[in-house]
A and B are shown apart, each in its own frame.
Chain A
């Protein structure tokens, strides 16, 4: 009987494990599609590619369209590293020269693969999709804007819940925004308006450069949702956070966005005090050390008490 109960328990635990399993990408092993992809990267991994012209028999050297150049090492360090190019692109691309109509092939969005699938539930793709549809990007450019406008599937990394440093996460995310908002040529692929340089738009910020290196654009430009790790509802500029104390206070909104994961993790492993002390960043008004606060209040109180006692003795002096 005991034996059956034990087997039943093992089986039950196995089932629970299957139900709660979260998809993780093997980032260490050899990429599954590496050999197949090499044919594509032979041309698309370089700025200059060469091929044998079947008519003249000559080896031709041509410049690759920069929009179609992909860095193999960036691809293999991204979350789609085990994919073959033809998993997403038409197998007809295996023929060279590529057919002209292939340029018109539909491009998958994140939700085409990840939407409605419990395997990816912990990534909240469906919620991300609905938040994105509320965003100013979708509202103004729904026909031109898609996940890939910001997240390049050829190099996308899951940065937020990871061991990356805050500065690396900030740089990675801000480069996404800056790739359009600080690049007039690319910006004009979705808009006719000319944008001022980012530092001029943000001239009201003391030390824009420091802010840009320390926090992500989305900290101020999104509506934060508690259930999401990275907010995707980019709000119109009029609704962006402009009050310094939203971040520079003990109730800093950074705690529910940029530092959310790091704080939860560091508290698990090091305890609250160290989590605060060892925090990578310094945000005046938000970084408060309770022990230093107590020490300073006690010292200040003792000073005032000493002065008060001295005054009493002076008054009572004969």
Chain B
């Protein structure tokens, strides 16, 4: 049996848990505001606004910690995609998830100290962390200071377009979170990846 790997240092685990908790707050308060209903409020509107703003600011600061940590510790190398043959590797990984896994085949890209993410994870994590998260932070900060948004962009209200982008990216990140949590159950045991994120030690298959 392969040895356990120490993949998640303390700073990364702290960043991850803060991000996860704040995301849950953002999703709950965001849905509550977007679909606010006077007869059946999920969270009282003014409280939802306040908690959404606070959680958004914490996620934004936390994102800076993520970037700084990646630069300082070398964790960022896991997010660097080698484009040569990348698409083929993604298809291999998808084939494993959709077919090979059920037939007891070995994972094509097992976790090592140098390869924390498989190609599919790498692509989605890069998309989530380096495209969607900056977008939602920028649009969120703009909505927090709406005087910075152009009044009109073409035929549309600037705030409306910013809010539409913010909500759409929020929705995509929520989908990412659902899939992320589900695939986290595909470790050595359904709970081993969750334990790994708590202790720092990755349990190999």
Contacts and interface: CB of A to CB of B under 8 A. Distances in A.
Interface string A277-301: 1111110110111001000100110
Given A281-B157, A285-B34, A285-B35, A300 B45 contact: no
Interface of A: 167, 204, 206-207, 209-210, 243-246, 248-251, 277-282, 284-285, 287-289, 292, 296, 299-300, 303-304, 307, 310, 313-314, 316-318
Interface stretch (B8-16, B72-80, B174-182, B194-202): B174-182
Interface residues of B, number: 33
A299 B168 CA distance: 12
A203 to B, nearest CB: 12
Contacts, number: 83
A207 B142 CA distance: 13
Contacts of B45: 243-245, 248, 285
Interface of B: 33-38, 41, 45-46, 49-50, 53, 97, 101-102, 104, 146-147, 151, 155-157, 159-160, 163-164, 168, 171, 174-175, 178-179, 182
Contacts of B101: 314, 317
B156 A207 contact: no
B33 A307 contact: no
Contacts of A245: 36-38, 41, 45
B123 to A, nearest CB: 17
A201 to B, nearest CB: 16
Given A282-B163, A296-B171, A310-B182, A206 B49 contact: yes
Contacts of B163: 282, 284, 287
A292 B167 CA distance: 10
Contact of B155 (A278, A287, A310): A278
7 contacts: A209-B147, A244-B36, A245-B41, A282-B157, A284-B163, A285-B36, A285-B45
A54 to B, nearest CB: 54
Contact of A304 (B33, B168, B178): B178
Nearest to B171: A296
Contacts of A287: 160, 163
Given A281-B157, A303-B179, 18 more contacts: A167-B151, A206-B50, A248-B36, A249-B36, A279-B157, A281-B159, A281-B160, A282-B159, A285-B45, A287-B163, A289-B164, A300-B175, A300-B178, A303-B175, A307-B178, A307-B179, A314-B102, A317-B101
Contacts of B104: 317-318
A249 B104 CA distance: 51
Most central of A281, A303, A316 by chain B CB within 10 Å: A303
Contacts of B168: 292
Contacts of B146: 207, 210
B66 to A, nearest CB: 25
Nearest to B168: A292
Contacts of B36: 244-245, 248-249, 284-285
A248 B182 contact: no
B27 to A, nearest CB: 12
Contacts of B147: 209-210
B38 to A, nearest CB: 4
A251 B164 CA distance: 19
